[in-house]
Amino acid sequence: MIRMNHSTHLAVPVFSDTVEGLRAALLTAIDAGATLVEVRLDLCGEITDDDVRTAMTNAPPSAQLLLTYRSVAQGGECEEEDEARLCRIDRLAPWFDLIDVELDTWRSSERHRELVRQALVEPGERPLQSEAPSRRRLILSVHDFRGRPKSMQNDLLECVETPACDIVKIAWSARSVRDCLEAFEILRSCPKPAIAICMGAPGVVSRLLAPRYGAFATFASLDRQQITAPGQLTISELKTTYRWDALNEATSIFGVIGHPVSHSLSPATHNRVFSARGVNAVYTPLDVAPGYEPLKAFLLESESRPSAGFRGFSVTIPHKLHAMRFLQEQGGHIDAIAGRVGAINTLAFDPDGGWRGTNTDYAGALAAITTGLGMSPQRLAGIRATVLGAGGVSRAVIAALVDHGAIVTLSNRTEERMAPMRDEFGIQTAPWERRDASEADLIVNCTSVGMAPDTEATPWTGNAFAGGSVVFDTVYTPEETRLTRDAMGAGATVIRGTAMFAGQAAAQWAFWFGAATGDDAYERATRDAIDACATDANAPTDF
């Protein structure tokens, strides 16, 4: 098996204002798999130099130690003048293998450079874990929390041309996942070891795939409370959800394109199945700014960089129609179901075969309904269904029902949105105020009403569910909605949105890999992902 460049360090920032706290964080980070521990001195409050030395004494040699005392100007919390900051770095340097100094500080005066050079050659208190053990190594760093640094190319060049600089580090707030592709290019072409990080939600993939481009390190936090930069993953997410240790050059990359996507449940679900089935693939959030052009630019760039390994995408709000247009413009293959629904929620890319698109909400809804009713799709013929909502999900649900002979009445708050669907799908419509007037065997909620955080809302004002009727709520955050609770209380059969979510994700797998999993892998993965979310306040909350 070809391995990724796992000389790439897993770097974990640690900080505490007590000697015991700092020592414990150091040991926990190493136990968790850190090969580089970054002591963020600027986040250590009033801790003294002696306390830092005590905490670092006899640190296990399995990890290298990096000292960072970040200035406020570069996103840290140290308010000291550069001179005092560098003197403190110099005093503590003997306990560390590497030091991080900002390029701005380095270039600001000869005196500052002299202090840094001195810190690099201070006799060490531990054997240096370095290729050139005569001195510790210097990371020259550039940070921009507002966006892409305007002088990025010049800054990089200056770091590269500075003899004392061993490792170039650049970190900026990504506007879109496209910034990550630029970070990969920096890593690929930099003549010195480099760290290129895109911060924020759109930058996750730059952290995850850093080893593929030979990065010196990627940063992960001990836990969510100790995240030191926006978008940083925890070690557990990196190692468990994204299987960092198993990623290699041949790993295929899948992901969910949307905006926002940081709370998507899809990575937790797909990665569970990828792991269980032993496929060499990883699935990541891909935040692409709204609008057709950002989507097109990202897809074209991912196509033009085969080394990135992008093979398939889930597509969610606001890009489902953009994905359709992209395939039309690029001559990609739009399958019959996507054409019928009028939106794409799944893309596949094959360097030899080009782009393909489908809509798996159709299959997901159909599977949820037929499983819930305990009948084959053929037996849907003639059942009466009331569908609430006229958005993207509604189109997939209606197409699936109508194609199998159901008699559909659609009701939507905004008349203009549902009117065109009457002729397109050959269905009836009812004014929103009269949505519960017609008899229905099946009621399907395709509105966002009832979704978190407004969980006490319900789209069904009817005072009863006709005896024996079936209620399907496509909303799945929360899993049990007010609508499903009311329906169960009235004796109706309930189908939950999670069933559709699992079904559409399973259909994505089949679209990407050419065959169904053949078992209930996605039901289990969805269940496990939801259970994991229930115990994590910051966990994903939507698709």
- Which is closer to ligand NAP, CB of 116 or CB of 365? 365
Q: What distance, in Å, lies between the first and last C-alpha atoms of the chain?
A: 33
Q: How far is the CB of 99 from ligand NAP (least distance, A)?
A: 49
Is residue 446 within the footprint of ligand NAP (CB under 6 A)? yes
Q: What angle do CA 66, 103, 8 make, to 5 degrees?
A: 40
Is residue 447 within the footprint of ligand NAP (CB under 6 A)? yes
Q: Are 511 and 311 in contact (CB under 8 A)?
A: no
- Which is closer to ligand NAP, CB of 43 or CB of 418? 418
Question: In the chain, how long is the greatest CA-to-CA distance?
Answer: 85
Q: What single-letter DSSP state applies at residue 238? A: I
Task: Map 320-352 to HEC letters.
Answer: HHHHHHHHHHHCCEECHHHHHHCCCCEEEEECC
**Which one of the spans 113-121, 122-130, 192-200, 469-477 is the region binding ligand NAP (CB under 6 A)?**
469-477
Is residue 412 within the footprint of ligand NAP (CB under 6 A)? yes
Under rule CB under 6 A, how many of the chain's residues touch ligand NAP?
A: 27
Mark out the alpha helices in 162-281 (DSSP H runs): 178-189, 204-208, 235-236, 266-277
320 catalytic per annotation: yes
Q: Taking phi first (over 0 means left), then psi (-120 to 50 degrees means alpha), and beta for anything else, what does residue 4 get?
A: beta
Residue 260, exposed/middle/buried by CB under 10 A (0-12, 13-18, 19+)?
middle
Instruction: Round to whole Å and give the CA distance between 472 and 496.
Output: 6
Q: Which two tokens stand for residue 3?
A: 């391995």
The residues in 292-321 that bind ligand NAP, with binding defined as CB under 6 A, are 317
Is residue 392 within the footprint of ligand NAP (CB under 6 A)? yes
**Which one of the spans 88-96, 138-146, 499-507, 529-537 is the region binding ligand NAP (CB under 6 A)?**
499-507
- Which is closer to ligand NAP, CB of 136 or CB of 482? 482
As a dihedral over the C-alpha atoms of residue 221, residue 227, residue 232, residue 237, rounded to 10 degrees, the angle is: 50
Q: How far is the CB of 129 from ligand NAP (least distance, A)?
A: 48
**Residue closest to ligand NAP (Cβ):** 391
DSSP three-state, residue 367: helix
- Which is closer to ligand NAP, CB of 75 or CB of 258? 258
Q: How far is the CB of 457 from ligand NAP (least distance, A)?
A: 7
CA distances 227 to 81, 208, 223, 308, Å, are 25, 16, 7, 26
Is residue 156 within the footprint of ligand NAP (CB under 6 A)? no
Find where tokens 């919390």 sit.
Answer: 77
Q: Minimal CA–CA distance to 358: which of 470, 529, 508?
A: 508
Q: What single-letter DSSP state applies at residue 201? A: G
- Which is closer to ligand NAP, CB of 86 or CB of 315? 315
Return the residue of 129, 173, 411, 504 that touches ligand NAP, per CB under 6 A. Answer: 504
- Which is closer to ligand NAP, CB of 275 or CB of 448? 448
Is residue 393 within the footprint of ligand NAP (CB under 6 A)? yes
- What is the DSSP code string of 65-93? EEEE--BGGGTS-B-S-HHHHHHHHHHHG
Is residue 364 within the footprint of ligand NAP (CB under 6 A)? yes
Return the residue of 95, 313, 425, 476 that touches ligand NAP, per CB under 6 A. Answer: 476
Is residue 448 within the footprint of ligand NAP (CB under 6 A)? yes
- Which is closer to ligand NAP, CB of 210 or CB of 500? 500
**Which one of the spans 136-144, 159-167, 207-215, 390-398 is the region binding ligand NAP (CB under 6 A)?**
390-398
The residues in 514-543 that bind ligand NAP, with binding defined as CB under 6 A, are 543
Return the residue of 497, 512, 525, 530 that touches ligand NAP, per CB under 6 A. Answer: 497
Q: How far is the CB of 478 from ligand NAP (least distance, A)?
A: 10
Q: How many CB atoms lie within 10 A of CB 117?
A: 13
Is residue 151 within the footprint of ligand NAP (CB under 6 A)? no
Catalytic sites, residue numbers: 320
Site for ligand NAP, rule CB under 6 A: 317, 361, 364, 389-394, 412-414, 417, 446-449, 451, 459, 474-476, 497, 500-501, 504, 543
